[in-house]
Amino acid sequence: MRFIDTIDGLDDIFSTDIPKGSVILITGVPGSLKSGITFSILSKYLENVGEFGTYITLEQSKDNHLANMKSMGLELSDNLSISDFSDYRLQYDEFSGDLLTLIETNILQYKQKMGDKFTCVALDSLGALYSLLDVEPRDMRKRLYHLFEPLRRENLTTFMILETSESLGLNHANNFENYLADGIIELGLHMKDNTTNRYIQVKKMRASEHSMDPFILTVSDEGLKVYRGNIF
């Protein structure tokens, strides 16, 4: 199974798969299904290929996250572990520099334990991580580089979730993560004729052939679904 086979219609956007070992930025406004699409891709992919991965949550508890996923018809694969760091947020507010190291260590220890069968990581979210790091904006790019590069060297396909505001989108001043990432998948909301649609648009994906057009993203009885439609 390919990553693009995990969500119905996602293969209409891509001609070739999301390259393994890439760092992918999943970005969008609140309510655009960033966590849902990331969780769905990882859980279904890992279940079908017999590999393992971890989903790191900094904002929701494990139980709340899984309840939210279940409400969209998304089930947790036994091959995807949920690493709940939400309880660490208050603890590490005064020692925030250690949190990034802790996350990296957690991932690399899991990689050492599982070996080549450990292939995927998700971090939900970069915004929560930024709020905990006592780092000047000019130093943030360097810190992210030192997080991303070990994951690339370990050939881990990594999905990083980043929430943006409606007004800023991907054009905010500190968009250094866009340059560091190998791929950018933007999710959003668009109102037309008094109807609001969610959309998915691949803005960037190195070493992959894909459409640049926006596609409609919906929640069906069987999970998420992507299809072409007249959005804008």
CATH of the domain at 27: 3.40.50.300
Residue 71: inside a domain: yes
Distances from the Cα of 145 to the Cα of 140, 149, 152, 177, 193, angstroms: 9, 6, 10, 9, 43
Residue 229 lies in a domain: no
How many CB atoms sit inside 10 A of residue 229's CB?
13
Q: Could you tell me if residue 175 is inside a domain?
A: yes
In a domain, 160, yes or no: yes
pLDDT of 66 higher than 70 = yes
Query: What's the structural domain count of the chain?
Result: 1
Residue 215 lies in a domain: no
**Residue 10 falls inside a structural domain:** yes
Task: Point out the least confidently predicted range of 58-72, 169-183, 184-198.
Answer: 169-183
In the predicted model, is pLDDT for residue 188 greater than 60? yes
Give domain status of residue 97, yes or no: yes
Range of the domain at 76: 3-207
Q: What is the pLDDT of residue 169?
A: 41
> What residues contact 222, with CB distance under 8 A and at least 6 apart?
8, 73
What tens digit of pLDDT does each residue of 104-161 get? 888 999 999 999 999 999 999 998 888 877 777 678 888 888 889 999 999 999 999 9
Let me know if residue 69 belongs to a domain: yes
